[in-house]
Structure 1
Amino acid sequence: MTDELTTGIASALTEAAPDGWAKVSLTVSATVLAYDYATEIRLADGRSGDIDLPAEVRGGFRELRTRMYEPGRGTWFSAKIVLTPGVAPEFTFNFDEDPKWWPPLHPTTFTRDLETFPRDEQHVPAWLRNLVAQGTQLERERDTPA
C-alpha cells in the first residue's frame, strides 16, 4: 500500500539530485496544516549541493502521512529518507517525538492534527498533549464573548 509511494518518492528524489551526488537526506516535518522539508546534499567531492524538490516528493509525503495513519495510534510527525548510490533508500518515521518546528507552530495546528488523525490517550505524547491543551484553551478564549 505504501511501497509504491516510497518507491515513487525515492525515484523522484534521485532524478532531482544534482550530478555527482554521494548522499541525499530529506527530513519532512508534518501536521495537517503545515509541512517543512529540510534537505542535505553531499557531493562526491565533499561539497554541499542543492536540490529543487519535485512536486512528486512533496505530494508523495503528504499522501504517505495519510496512508500511514493507524486508528488509535496516529501517524508520523516527521519522516526522513536517505539516498546513497547503490544502496536501497532508507526511510524512518517518527510517530511520537516532538519534531521541534522552528519557528514554533501555533498550538491550534496540533489540535487540528489530532482531530484529523485521532490517537488513543496512551498514544498522545506529553509534548502533544500540552500543545493541544494550549490550542483548546486559546480556541475557548477566542469563542467566549468578552
Structure 2
Amino acid sequence: MSQQEGQGQAGCALDWVGGKLLTVAPPGWAVMDLKVLFAADVEDFVFATVLGDGSLLPVEMPEEVRAPFVGLRHLLHEPGAGTWFSIRFTMTPPDHYRVDFNFDVDPVWDPPLDPAVLADDLLRWPRTPENTPRWALETMGVEPPALPDRVDYEEQANQVKRVTDQLRQVLPAGWGYVQVQFREIGHHAEVAALVQNAVGAVVQWNPPRAVAERFRELRTMTRRTEHGPWFSAKVELSGDGREKVSTNRTEEPTWVDPPSDEAYLVELGLPGSERAPDWLRARSVS
C-alpha cells in the first residue's frame, strides 16, 4: 500500500470515529476531546465532553471507537520512522474535528508507562537512531546522545514544532487558547501557562515536565545561532491550529522565583556566552 493510500484509509477511519462520537454528544456540548495512547499491547483512551458553559460532563465513549485506532498504527507506520505514540482527536459542533498525530514527543502516560512496554513497542515498530526520541531513550534508561548547540534553520523549525506538538498532546480538555512562557538561566527554569477555555474563562495551568524538556532541548540546540542564546520564550496556540512562537535574547526575564547567583555563573559557562548581554555579564563581577 502506498503512503497516499494509507493516509486515505486513515481519513476514512477518522471520519467514522467522528460519526460514532456524535452519537453520544449531549445537548449543549461544545467540545468532545479524545486522547488515545498506544504502546505495544497497552492502550489508554481518555474521553472528555465539555458543555457550552465550560463544565465537564461524564459521557461514556462508544466501545466501537477503539478498534480503528489499532489499524491506524499499521496504516501510518513508516519503515525506520515507526508509528504514532498518541493522537488527540477534538470535535466541535456541528461535526468539525481536528486530529493531532504524535509521532515524536512524549505522550505523557498517567500513570507512567512501564519502560519494558515502550521497549517492546519500539521492537514492533523499529526506528532508526535519529528517529528515536530522547524521552523514549531516557524512559528506557538509555543515555541519549548529547544535543548539538547549533543547528540549521530546518532543524530549529523541527524543534519548535516538537514544543508545539508536545503542548497539543497534553493541554486540558476544552482549551481554546493557551499562552505558555518558559524562562531559563543556567540550571534554573520556570514554566507558566494560561489557558482560555471554550467560554472564554482564563485559568492557570501547570504543564507536565515534558513541556519544559522540549523547551530546554530547543534552547540547547540554538545556543550558538548568529543571534546568541535566548533566555525566555513565549508560545501561543489556538484550537483552530494557529501558532505563534517568540524568544527573548536581550532582556532579563521577569522571574517568579529569582535564580541563585550560581545559576547565572553556570549560564556564563555555557556555549554562546560570548554573546551574553550586559545584564548577564554584570553578574560575573557582582
Both structures adopt the same fold (TM-score exceeding 0.5): yes
Match of 1:103 in 2: 111
Tell me if the contact between 2:18 and 2:95 (Cα under 8 Å) persists in the aligned partners.
no
Match of 2:41 in 1: 33
Aligned mate of 2:99, from 91, 94, 107: 91
Tell me if the contact between 2:89 and 2:99 (Cα under 8 Å) persists in the aligned partners.
yes
1:49 matched to 2:57:
yes
Same amino acid, percent of matched pairs: 34
Aligned mate of 1:7, from 4, 8, 15: 15
Tell me if the contact between 1:79 and 1:93 (Cα under 8 Å) persists in the aligned partners.
yes
Tell me if the contact between 1:71 and 1:118 (Cα under 8 Å) persists in the aligned partners.
yes
1:74 matched to 2:82:
yes
Q: CA deviation at 1:93?
A: 0.6
Where does the alignment leave 5 or more consecutive residues of structure 2 unmatched?
A: 1-8, 143-286
The number of residues matched between the two structures is 134
Q: CA deviation at 1:89?
A: 1.0
Q: Which of 3-12 and 80-89 deviates more?
A: 80-89
Q: CA deviation at 1:87?
A: 5.2
Q: Higher helix proportion, which one?
A: 1
Match of 1:59 in 2: 67
Q: Higher strand proportion, which one?
A: 2
State the SS of the aligned residue for 2:61.
coil
Q: What RMSD, in angstroms, separates the aligned Cα atoms of the two structures?
A: 1.6
Q: Distance in 2 between matches of 1:105 and 1:122?
A: 22
Change (3 A) 1:130 1:46: closer
Q: Which protein is bigger by CA-based radius of gyration?
A: 2
Match of 2:127 in 1: 119
Q: Distance in 1 between matches of 2:129 and 2:46?
A: 30
Match of 2:211 in 1: none
Q: Distance in 1 between matches of 2:64 and 2:76?
A: 17
TM-score normalised by structure 1 residue count: 0.83
Q: CA deviation at 1:133?
A: 4.9
Higher relative contact order (CA 8 A, sep 6+): 1
In structure 1, what residue type is equivalent to 2:132? Answer: V
Change (3 A) 1:19 1:86: closer
Q: Which of 68-77 and 52-61 deviates more?
A: 52-61
TM-score normalised by structure 2 residue count: 0.44
In structure 1, what residue type is equivalent to 2:21? Answer: L
Q: CA deviation at 1:66?
A: 2.1
Q: Which of 69-78 and 81-90 deviates more?
A: 81-90
Tell me if the contact between 2:22 and 2:95 (Cα under 8 Å) persists in the aligned partners.
no
In structure 2, what residue type is equivalent to 1:66? Answer: H
Where does the alignment leave 5 or more consecutive residues of structure 1 unmatched?
A: 135-146
